[in-house]
Structure 1
Amino acid sequence: LLPEYLKKFYRELLRNFKVLQDQVTDNDKYRVTYTRKEFQKLSTYYLQEAEWSHQRHKPSFGDQITLTAMSSVIPLLCVSGTVGMGYVTKETFEWVASRTTAIVASAKIGRFMNDIAAMKRGKNKGDVASSVECYMNEHKVTMEVAIDKIDSLVEDEWRTLNQAHFEDHKLFPVVEQVVNLTASMASFYDERKDAYTFPTLLQDTIESLFVNPVP
């Protein structure tokens, strides 16, 4: 049986999907179905992470990033962020939802940046081993060496993501949205900070954009 807090969460989740479905046209309701399926996938990734943590499993670097890139929420954001793009064709929407190399690259970039920032701030108890820790364990290197390597992998994934611009011109609007989403991660993780976990780190940036008068 589910605990009461999960029941409340589930009921609210269903309500949100109902609201979303009511806001799109009949021809676009399939997009909400894709979003719901993406959320279900995310739940299975979280469950796998919880099992690893409970079992104190130390995954290989490859296994770790394969799972945690998907649990980064970025694939879900790429799908849900496309729901309201009325001019997007069904084929284009399916491209976003199909785990293409561009979507995976975006997810890996987010995961790598988050893991590097987490090493700087310290892990929470119960967190599964990060990509940095897995690389250190697998290759017997220091944290600094592992971070340098993962920084280079971030650059590799950016090349993969940018290449998607040239694959099919019909995909450009959606690819551009994925690229912009990925680029926004720099606001959260610039200078190794973790403003995703600690949003107050963005306070000065937000105030300079929307509160303080222009000099």
Structure 2
Amino acid sequence: MEESLEKEGKAYQIHHVKEKAKEYTRSLLLEAKWLKDGHIPTLEEYLTNSLVTIGQPLMISRSYVGRDDMVTNETFTWLATYPPLVKASSLILRLMDDIVTHEEEQERGHVPSCIECYRKETGASEEEACEFFSKQVEDAWKVINRESLRPTDVPFLLVMPAINSARVAHALYKDHDGYGHAEEEVINYIKLLFVHPIVV
């Protein structure tokens, strides 16, 4: 891919993806350090880092590689600023994942989730923490809706990966961990997409 893009004068695309991969790896190493040290970060520390470790910015960056000329160096610069829509989308994925997986992850010795960070900071119960973050998810959807109606620095088609991954998060994590424990509903979604797609 790198050789092909270099011939087209688009080697910068791979450079940007590599930089996002480095950022992702550094953030995972920070989480590993927290876990090793038994450190429960502040909620702000956790959210700042986990918006990277959720992998969304890296996935979006990768989705731009090899596309037509609408993707420019400025597209990657825009993404690197974590614009509100990308941040909100990443937050939805992170929070919905944490709400439904935190208990199981803590049982297997995972890094603290937003639930544990919030409870340590505020003294809230687990139920109160989940309610608080469910409200944050709702607010993040409002940001996506608002930002979707505004002009962006990139074509709207390039904003869609962020919006679509928030939609996927909502489908996978709305009631339970549909990613880690795919049940009939999630399996049906996959079948509808790949086995029985509606052809228009």
Q: TM-score, normalised by structure 1?
A: 0.80
* Aligned Cα root-mean-square deviation (Å): 2.3
Task: State the distance in 2 between where 1:49 and 1:213 align.
Answer: 39
Aligned to 2:30: 48
Task: State the distance in 1 between where 2:75 and 2:196 align.
Answer: 40
Kept in 2, the 8 Å contact 1:162–1:179? The answer is no
Aligned to 1:15: none
- Partner of 1:81, secondary structure, is helix
Kept in 2, the 8 Å contact 1:45–1:68? The answer is yes
Aligned to 1:21: 2
Aligned equivalent of 2:54, options 66, 72, 76 = 72
Task: State the distance in 2 between where 1:213 and 1:160 align.
Answer: 30
Q: Deviations over 1:57-89 (max 9, x none)?
A: 011111111111211001101111111321223
Task: State the distance in 2 between where 1:83 and 1:37 align.
Answer: 13
Counterpart AA for 2:130? I
Q: Deviations over 1:108-133 (max 9, x none)?
A: 11110110111354535331110011
Aligned to 1:146: 129
Kept in 2, the 8 Å contact 1:96–1:174? The answer is no
Alignment of 1:32-47 (within 5 A): 32-47=14-29
Cα shift at 1:152:
0.7
Q: Does 1:195 align with 2:178?
A: yes
Cα shift at 1:135:
1.1
Between the aligned residues of both structures, percent identity stands at 26
Aligned to 1:84: 66
RCO higher in structure (CA 8 A, sep ≥6): 2
Q: Cα distance 1:62–1:210, how it changes in 2: closer, same or farther (>3 A)? A: same
Aligned to 1:10: none
Aligned equivalent of 2:157, options 166, 173, 191 = 173
Where structure 1 has 5 or more consecutive residues not aligned to the other structure, the ranges are 1-19
Q: Does 1:159 align with 2:107?
A: no
Q: TM-score, normalised by structure 2?
A: 0.85
Alignment of 1:1-16 (within 5 A): none
Task: State the distance in 2 between where 1:209 and 1:34 align.
Answer: 30
Kept in 2, the 8 Å contact 1:59–1:134? The answer is yes
Aligned equivalent of 1:205, options 150, 172, 189 = 189
Counterpart AA for 1:91? E
Alignment of 1:65-144 (within 5 A): 65-86=47-68, 87-119=70-102, 121-144=104-127
How many equivalent residue pairs? 194
Q: Deviations over 1:12-43 (max 9, x none)?
A: xxxxxxxx313435322101100011001111
Aligned to 1:186: 170
- Partner of 1:197, secondary structure, is coil
Counterpart AA for 1:22? E
Kept in 1, the 8 Å contact 2:46–2:114? The answer is yes
Where structure 2 has 5 or more consecutive residues not aligned to the other structure, the ranges are none
Aligned equivalent of 2:12, options 1, 20, 30 = 30
